[in-house]
Structure 1
């Protein structure tokens, strides 16, 4: 009987940085307008995976490491809705749908008390 191997991502896929140089470091710009690091460009010192998906580890000048979703950086192409609205749209349709679901779930929980 053949067995199938399933590859599960490790919790942290950060590369060892003991031998890394500044030339090896990829600079990433934070593009989310409400993030405290917007619009700074910082070195990406690794990646992590958690239940919400991939996270980039960005390091500031004071050696603090921030965990940021790749969608909030220039590594991912901008969402077409956001690009077309030129900053005039506060929320995307997908965000509004998610908010609607959250409000419905919270409303049903408070109504059962």
Structure 2
């Protein structure tokens, strides 16, 4: 089943043809409704179990990223360091 909420085939089920590591990621291959071979990242399907932390967290967080950056800058100010904290986001998030 396609589980990625923004994929046009979301919530649709297909028979798995093969599961392979291609394009630097695990992908599932299936025949679409027109019979064409298609593939999506395995993480966009129900073949990969949901990460337990993500499931339990359910999108909740104790801290917002802006608040953490402000805290980082405050700590640096207290230490007398003039650096500004920066954050590098991972595309997997």
- Residue 18 of structure 2 aligns with which residue? 46
Number of residue equivalences: 66
RMSD after superposition: 2.7
Q: CA deviation at 1:67?
A: 1.0
Q: CA deviation at 1:87?
A: 5.8
The runs of 5 or more residues in structure 2 that have no matched partner are 66-87
* Paired residue secondary structure (1:97): coil
- Of 54, 74, 82 in structure 1, the residue corresponding to residue 46 of structure 2 is 74
Change (3 A) 1:87 1:46: same
- With normalisation by structure 2, the TM-score equals 0.54
Change (3 A) 1:87 1:32: farther
Which structure is larger by alpha-carbon Rg, 1 or 2?
2
- With normalisation by structure 1, the TM-score equals 0.46
Detail structure 1 runs of 4+ shifted over 6 Å in the superposition.
none
* Paired residue secondary structure (1:67): strand
